[in-house]
Amino acid sequence: MAIMATTDTFLLGISTSLFIAGLAALISFYLISIGIYRLYFHPLAKYPGPILNRISPIPLSYQLIRGRLPFYVKQLHDIYGPVVRLTPTELTFNSEKSWKDIYGSRPGHQNFHKDPVHVGSIQTVPGVVTITMAGDADHARQRRALSHAFSTKALLEQEYLIRNYVDVFRDKMNEFASTGQVCNIADWFSYTTFDIIGHLSLGEPFGCLTSSDLRFWVPVISESIKAGAIEQASRRLATTGSKLQNLFLKIFAPTELRDQRRKHLEYSREKILRRIQQTGTNQHRDFLYYLMNQKDKDNLNQDEIIVNGALFIIAGSETTGSFMAGLFNHLLRPENRNVLDKLVAEIRGAFKSDDEITYEELVKLPWLTAVLEEGLRIFPSAPIGFTRSVPAGGDSVDGHFLPAGTTVSTCMWAATHTEDNFKDPYEFRPERWLDKTNATDKLGASNPFSLGPRGCIGRNLSYMEQRLITAKLLWHNDVAMTNDESWAEWTPRNDHENMQVFTNWIKAPLNVRLSPRNI
- Cβ distance 225 to 504 under 8 Å? yes
- Cβ distance 398 to 346 under 8 Å? no
User: Does the model's pTM come out above 0.85?
Assistant: yes
456 carries a ligand binding annotation: yes
What angle is formed at CA 449 by the lines to CA 161 and CA 144, rounded to 5 degrees? Answer: 70
Distance between CA atoms of 461 and 218, rounded to whole angstroms?
19
Distance between CA atoms of 447 and 400, rounded to whole angstroms?
21
Average pLDDT (222-232) is 87
Position 297 scores a pLDDT of 44
pLDDT digits (tens, 9 = 90+) for 110-159: 989 888 777 666 666 666 666 666 666 666 666 776 777 777 888 888 89
pLDDT digits (tens, 9 = 90+) for 70-118: 999 999 999 999 999 999 999 999 999 999 999 998 888 998 988 877 7
Domain 51-516 has CATH 1.10.630.10: yes
Q: Domain residue spans in the chain?
A: 51-516
Residues listed for the chain: 519
pLDDT digits (tens, 9 = 90+) for 164-216: 999 999 999 999 999 999 999 999 999 999 999 988 888 777 899 999 888 98
Q: Which residues pair with 502 in a beta bridge?
A: 504
